[in-house]
Structure 1
């Protein structure tokens, strides 16, 4: 591997690329931080291609969180290496797991802001956090986040020991659900304050929404996990669900 940072391009961003006679042609979209790194790892039908970004045309773009998600144009570009035994699905799984960790971290920060705001904001003569309805909202979001973290730990344990497709799918689904719930509750208890640009909440909730869309949205992982469950032998279905 080359020295220095490289970027991982989600498989969906490589749909416009083709490797013909050993040369890369086309446009990769949604590439994270290409102007700040020297190399990229691209999942192609022939395997994973390691390419240098020197000499490529980069068109600037942003995701919902304001992070660089650029388009990179390749013309007769020879990869540094092509790893035929490495699969695009392996990169997709690891990318989804990575984004799920980030979603949970952002959700935690959103909840911390929500708790801090509701304990200091006084309405009807007492803090918002003293109202049971507000407590229920925050507690419900926190419980979903705790469950997502447990599944993330299980996914990392499974990845260290071998095949982790089922565990990563479950962790990804729950991270997306928990992140969405935490973002929704945090904005609801903040009211108009949560939408102020000068206030930090939008930095976390915008990131949650942006990262939920990368390396496969929630619906993709739900369908994938459901297909795995349907393919499992009926005698093992309960174990599949509970293990």
Structure 2
């Protein structure tokens, strides 16, 4: 029910034209109001607190939809923030919330949060700092854009006097949840990229027939489809289980696998589209740019493969199959 309702909102209000408008600095108030007023930011909030009380597995299709539509707003992060603030006595603030699992003090004592997702748009950031949870007002921070075309990421700096006090001791969960969100977004966006590429290959005619009929193109499409399917399965892994937030190792596997798929999927799509694929007018670049950005958000496959590897090395007597059975809830 929630997925269908959100899909309709995204189809009506999150068009490629609207995504481009947000990238160019225009607001997306209508889209944000539709999500906020519809109660969709409270999907993980318990029913006792007037939320939907969804399980993580029920949230996944919605996050995939966000990726398929290249949603240019931190709706997924705002949903997760409410779950992460479950032990905080204060109600989450109104407005756009984003997440970061990494922060440090710079030489001037300011708190630096690098490459904060939607850092140019967010009103508040829920940040992990040395294992503690901090809810920070983004209007008090200095925002430094990444300089990447169309990106809403930014590095933010908060003066020491604006930090306040910790609102929880579950700071380590922030990076894990944010990684799971990006894994789902990657999987959803790659599904859209595959659909666009299939449509183009069926429509584009060369030497008297659609290029999708050529065996070499079919081979590239089949490999691309394998990567997309594997990413969808990996994202499902991160959102399995009955915990309020995704588990570390399943999320590490999911983020590593989806990030690994970004380069071959994006490269194949652009190769099959040819020169037109990189043009501003074509919607493909709206998704492939995000795929590359999301690949490194909260750590690329190199980082998360290391997390999985260290966890396995900590069980020296376990085989790979036994390790997988232990960490995957439904194995």
8 A contact 2:114–2:155 mirrored in 1: yes
Equivalences, count:
235
Which structure has the higher relative contact order (CA within 8 Å, separation 6+)? 1
Structure 1 match to 2:315? 232
Structure 1 match to 2:234? 151
Structure 1 gaps, min length 5: 19-23
- SS at structure 1 position matched to 2:294: helix
Normalised by the length of structure 2, the TM-score is 0.64
Structure 1 match to 2:203? 120
Structure 2 match to 1:176? 259
Q: What is the root-mean-square deviation of aligned Cα atoms in Å? A: 2.5
Structure 2 gaps, min length 5: 1-91, 326-330
Find the aligned partners of 1:204 and 1:218 in 2 and give their Cα distance.
19
- 1:213 Cα deviation from its structure 2 partner: 0.8
- Of the candidates 78, 89, 95, which is equivalent to residue 4 of structure 1? 95
* Deviation >6 Å, runs of 4+: none
Find the aligned partners of 1:73 and 1:46 in 2 and give their Cα distance.
19
CA change 1:160–1:63 in 2 (3 A) is: farther
Structure 1 match to 2:156? 72
8 A contact 1:169–1:225 mirrored in 2: yes
Find the aligned partners of 1:29 and 1:221 in 2 and give their Cα distance.
18
- SS at structure 2 position matched to 1:43: strand
Find the aligned partners of 1:6 and 1:163 in 2 and give their Cα distance.
18
Find the aligned partners of 1:211 and 1:205 in 2 and give their Cα distance.
10
- Of the candidates 22, 34, 40, which is equivalent to residue 125 of structure 2? 40
User: Which protein has the bigger strand share?
Assistant: 1
CA change 1:225–1:63 in 2 (3 A) is: farther
Structure 1 match to 2:137? 52
Find the aligned partners of 2:245 and 2:93 in 1 and give their Cα distance.
26
